[in-house]
Amino acid sequence: MNQPDSLPAYYDDLALSFEEAWGHITAGVTNRNSPSHMPVIGTVDAFGAPQMRIMILRNVSREERTLRFHTDTRSTKTEQLHHNVATSVLIYDPAAKVQIRISGKTQFSSQGDVANTAWSTSTPFARRCYMAEAAPGTPIAEPSSGLPTWIEGKQPDEAQLADYRENFAALLVKVETIEWLYLANAGHRRARWYWDAGQNVWAGCWLIP
Ligand SMILES: Cc1cc2nc3c(=O)[nH]c(=O)nc-3n(C[C@H](O)[C@H](O)[C@H](O)COP(=O)(O)O)c2cc1C
């Protein structure tokens, strides 16, 4: 006989579900094994077509309602993200049976404090991808990493990286809504919260799953 699920404290508690949702999101920054570490980021291209890709979650500020990602200023997604555009972030944690759908607007930052700090606090290996000689997505005749051959398999030092800083940008997704779906045999639970800018509070309610 199937055992009923043992239900978590947040199952029927909207405020606790909200805490749980933020807990999942923030865990993605420090826990590389958390599914929140590699969410799917959705944008819309110039033709109105949805475009999705995995990106590493680098920082979360619940207070500022921001999620930070890093990318190459020459990438295709950068064109789509330049003008404070709608962005979605999708997380599914199979062990927790939780899906989180975030929507917001992206602030593109290739200069200034946010980008400078994000650059200087990234590891040299992480920053090596910005040394690609041509823009990501450029067609090439032979398979290649796109990196200069002298740096392949090596860790660059600060002086070698300095010339490539201009290829780096931080993307800050300003969160506007968070949707929660918890799967349970006893009955799924779904909720959504939106940032009420007039009241400066998160407002949420349960939804039919
Ligand atoms: C595990 C994983 C992590 C990735 N992390 C990033 C990232 O942090 N930033 C990024 O720009 N691309 C990252 N990528 C590559 C993107 O998914 C995508 O292929 C690339 O950025 C090109 O996307 P675009 O054509 O939409 O610009 C990652 C891919 C994988 C599989």
Q: Is position 4 within any domain?
A: no
**Helix (H, G, I), strand (E, B), or coil: what is residue 168?**
strand
User: Ligand 1 pocket, 55 CB below 6 A?
Assistant: yes
Q: Contact at 8 Å (CB) between 115 and 169?
A: yes
Task: Supply the pLDDT for residue 82.
Answer: 78
Q: What is the pLDDT of residues 22-49, one digit of tens each?
A: 999 999 999 999 999 999 999 999 899 9
* Residue 1 one-letter amino acid: M
Q: Is residue 70 part of a domain?
A: yes
In whole angstroms, what is the distance from residue 192 CA to residue 177 CA?
7
Residues written for the chain? 209
Closest atom of ligand 1 to CA, residue 78: 27
| Burial grade of 205 (CB within 10 A; 0-12, 13-18, 19 or more) | exposed
Question: Does a structural domain hold residue 1?
Answer: no
Structure tokens at 106: 């992206």
Ligand 1 proximity of 138 Cβ (cutoff 6 Å): no
The answer to the question of residue 63 being in a domain is yes
**Domain CATH code at residue 100:** 2.30.110.10
Distance 55 CA to ligand 1 centre (A): 5
- Total structural domains within the chain: 1
Q: What average pLDDT score do residues 85-105 get?
A: 97
The answer to whether 77 touches 71, Cβ cutoff 8 Å, is: yes
Domain extent at residue 57: 14-132+151-207
- Any domain includes 36: yes
* Spatial separation of the C-alpha atoms in residues 145 and 127, rounded to whole Å: 14
Task: Output the residue whose Cα is nearest ligand 1's atom 13.
Answer: 55
pLDDT at 4 over 60: no
Residue 137 resides in a domain = no
Query: Is residue 144, in this structure, part of any structural domain at all?
Result: no
Separation of CA 93 and ligand 1 centre (Å): 19
Closest CA to 58 of 50, 69, 66: 69
In a domain, 188, yes or no: yes
Residue nearest to atom 7 of ligand 1 (CA): 55
Q: What is the phi/psi pair of residue 113, to 5°?
A: -60, -45
How far away, in angstroms, is 182 Cα from ligand 1 center?
27
